[in-house]
Amino acid sequence: MADLPSDRICPGDPPFTNTGGDCFGHFFVKQGRSRVKRWGAIFTCLIVQAIPLEVLSSMDQYSFVNAVRRFTARRGAVKKIWSDNGTNLVAADRELKEALQHF
């Protein structure tokens, strides 16, 4: 068996310091009398086995950025988020990097 990556072994770091993120769905939610389409964002802690979920209103980069903001507001600062190269995730990464440069 190979050694674990260094991001998975962080003895002094709090949970969700290194996180995996992905989007899934769609599923239908009842809103009033109509049914609307919603998606989900899953964040997986790479240190402990904890999985919070966030609801996305659409599959664009802005919804994912808002999900990341809600996630970090609840769970604390994140050093690194690992994900696949989905188009909305790559666009959200680019937008977050630009926001950090302006900050």
- d(Cα 103, Cα 101) in Å, to the nearest integer? 5
Total number of domains constituting the chain:
1
46-89 pLDDT, tens digit per residue, is: 988 899 999 999 998 899 999 999 999 999 989 998 888 888 88
Segments forming the whole domain that contains residue 75: 12-102
Q: Is residue 2 part of a domain?
A: no
Q: What is the pLDDT of residues 18-30, one digit of tens each?
A: 999 999 999 999 9
Is residue 70 a part of any domain in this protein? yes
Work out whether strand 53-56 and strand 34-45 pair parallel, antiparallel, or are unpaired.
antiparallel
Q: Find the CATH number of the domain harbouring 59.
A: 3.30.420.10
Quick check: 52 and 43 in contact, CB under 8 A?
yes
38 belongs to a structural domain: yes
Q: Is residue 45 part of a domain?
A: yes
Q: Is residue 4 part of a domain?
A: no
Whether the per-residue pLDDT at 11 is higher than 90: the answer is no
